[in-house]
């Protein structure tokens, strides 16, 4: 190659590298806006069964199970993990490569020969190749060691699929727990908010009356200020109660994958009944949790993955055996045989892998030890959670009985105060105070009932009990059908746990 051609080649190469340099490309405001509009449109689209009637408890759970995006995302992760597992099995196959080569010269590839004994040079130059040659090859090869390593990796990916399945169980159990809690908060808001608004309006009306009385000077200012102070405290109490209830319905709509502006009602009938937490064997519940909690089950699969890593290290220590077979065809007319079959066996052994193995095995053993300690920590945490969840559920059950009694007593007090107001014995403000106390008692009654239901859901999630184990066929059911199935499983949820002592 002459110096001019070399300089031209370097120049072209330099220009290519300069042209391939990259700069940061910040998205434009238009791109951000288009993305925002896309997601807003997705939220507004209702590709699900419309809400045409008040939603009962089990319909809410069914909609969460069928349409919640967190669950669908985890379900797709499991599907993706399974696809990776299936793809990994393709590595078992031998390699089949085809190639086509074309070589062209401006002159013949010719040569002469010289005798190494006499030094005599042959005068007749000869060639064994045409100037333009096509050659095709089909090559089949199978690497036995790669097959073994691919098998071990596929086994690991298979266990990753099973871990993803347990993570899916965890997501749906957490969602059901959250849906139960949010359902009762939303129902509480639906029940109590109108009553709180009514009392709020009456308090505002009384405050306006006191303001006019003060302007007219018809009452002792000190006494008037004391009355206004009590009313303002009542108004502040109402606002605090309203604050507790705001947003619950929107949060529940989000769990059901409904648009935040979707209007719906919750049914007051068909509520789950209270089940006494009797005959709960704490040790049996702990054993149940250690057996069924998704995190505990994932440990089994993680141990398998680590064991496969150990097997892989031993496989790497073995010599490799490669089997090859190929069929080649050439357009070179000077060849005696323009097509031929070829086969071979090749063996190689990386002896350094034997030296590396002890270090790698030690690392794997340390990993197993770490996982063992992590499993012990998790098992202790699960055991503690079971103890706490059952204690809280039993406490919520006791509290509910007291609150129901308190609410009944407050209802009698309000009826008495109302009779006294009609008889002129007390004023409007005193009646309002009793009415607010009754509202608070009713709120606490509903809150206590909701807390008990939530503690039951937390207990179920803590022990790893699946309300609806057949998650793979959720899409095959309509919301009413799913609701009926959930109603049955919810009814018998603690019967299964009570029978866990038979494990």
Task: Say what the pLDDT of residue 386 is.
Answer: 92
What is the Cα 405 distance to its own chain's centre? 42
User: What are the mean pLDDT values of the chain's consecutive 10-residue runs (503 residues total)?
Assistant: 60 65 77 81 69 87 87 86 86 86 84 81 78 89 86 89 90 88 88 83 80 71 77 82 84 86 80 67 88 92 92 89 90 86 89 89 92 93 93 87 88 89 82 81 83 86 79 76 84 63 35
Task: Say what the pLDDT of residue 271 is.
Answer: 62
400 Cβ contact partners less than 8 Å away, ≥ 6 residues apart: 274, 448, 449, 451, 452
Q: 287 with 382: CB under 8 angstroms?
A: no
Domain boundaries, the chain: 62-101+134-489
Task: Say what the pLDDT of residue 503 is.
Answer: 31
Q: What angle do CA 496, 268, 174 make, to 5 degrees?
A: 40
In Å, how far are 51, 153, 183, 442 from 249, measured between CA atoms? 14, 47, 8, 19
pTM: 0.77
Task: Say what the pLDDT of residue 501 is.
Answer: 38
- Determine whether domain 62-101+134-489 maps to CATH 2.60.40.1940: no
Task: Say what the pLDDT of residue 500 is.
Answer: 45
> What token pair was written down for 269?
């009938």
């Amino acid at each position: 190659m002459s110096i001019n051609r070399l300089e031209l080649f370097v120049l072209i190469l330099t220009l290519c590298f300069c042209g391939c340099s990259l700069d940061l490309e910040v998205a434009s405001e238009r791109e951000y806006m288009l993305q925002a509009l896309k997601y807003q449109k997705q939220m507004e689209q209702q590709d699900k069964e419309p809400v045409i009637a008040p939603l009962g408890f089990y319909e809410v759970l069914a909609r969460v199970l069928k349409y919640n995006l967190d669950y669908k995302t985890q379900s797709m992760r499991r599907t993706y993990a399974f696809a990776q597992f299936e793809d990994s099995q393709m590595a078992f196959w031998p390699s089949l490569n085809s190639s086509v080569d074309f070589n062209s010269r401006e002159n013949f590839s010719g040569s002469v020969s010289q005798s190494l004994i006499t030094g005599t040079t042959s005068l007749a130059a000869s060639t064994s190749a045409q100037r333009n040659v096509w050659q095709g090859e089909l090559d089949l090869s199978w690497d036995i060691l790669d097959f073994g390593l691919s098998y071990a990796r596929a086994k690991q990916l298979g266990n990753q699929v099973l871990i993803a399945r347990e993570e899916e169980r965890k997501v749906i159990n957490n969602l059901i727990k959250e849906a139960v809690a949010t359902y009762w908060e939303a129902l509480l808001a639906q029940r109590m908010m109108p009553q709180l608004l009514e009392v709020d309006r009456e308090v505002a009306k009384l405050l306006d009356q006191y303001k006019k009385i003060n302007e007219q000077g018809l009452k002792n200012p000190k006494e008037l200020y004391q009355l206004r102070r009590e009313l303002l405290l009542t108004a502040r109490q109402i606002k605090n109660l309203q604050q507790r209830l705001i947003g619950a319905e929107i949060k529940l709509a989000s769990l059901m994958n409904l648009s935040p502006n979707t209007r719906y009602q919750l049914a007051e009938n068909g509520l789950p009944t209270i089940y006494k937490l009797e005959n709960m064997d704490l040790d049996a519940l702990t054993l149940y949790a250690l057996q069924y909690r998704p995190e505990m089950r994932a440990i089994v699969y993680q141990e398998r993955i680590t064991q496969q890593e150990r097997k892989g290290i031993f496989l790497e220590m073995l010599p490799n055996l490669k089997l090859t077979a190929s069929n080649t065809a050439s357009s070179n007319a000077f060849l005696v045989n323009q097509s031929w079959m070829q086969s071979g066996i090749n063996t190689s052994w990386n002896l350094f892998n034997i030296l590396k193995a002890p270090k790698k095995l030690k690392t794997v053993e340390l990993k197993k030890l770490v996982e063992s300690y992590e499993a012990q920590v998790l098992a202790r945490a699960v055991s503690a959670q079971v103890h706490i969840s059952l204690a809280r559920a039993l406490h919520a059950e006791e509290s509910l009985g007291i609150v129901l009694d308190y609410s009944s007593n407050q209802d009698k007090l309000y009826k008495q105060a109302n009779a006294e107001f009609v008889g002129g014995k007390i004023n409007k403000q005193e009646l309002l105070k009793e009415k607010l106390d009754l509202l608070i008692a009713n709120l606490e009654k509903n809150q206590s009932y909701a807390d008990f239901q939530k503690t039951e859901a937390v207990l179920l999630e803590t022990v790893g009990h699946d309300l609806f184990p057949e998650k793979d066929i959720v899409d095959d059911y309509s919301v009413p059908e799913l609701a009926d199935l959930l109603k049955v499983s919810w009814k018998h949820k603690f019967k299964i746990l009570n029978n866990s002592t038979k494990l």
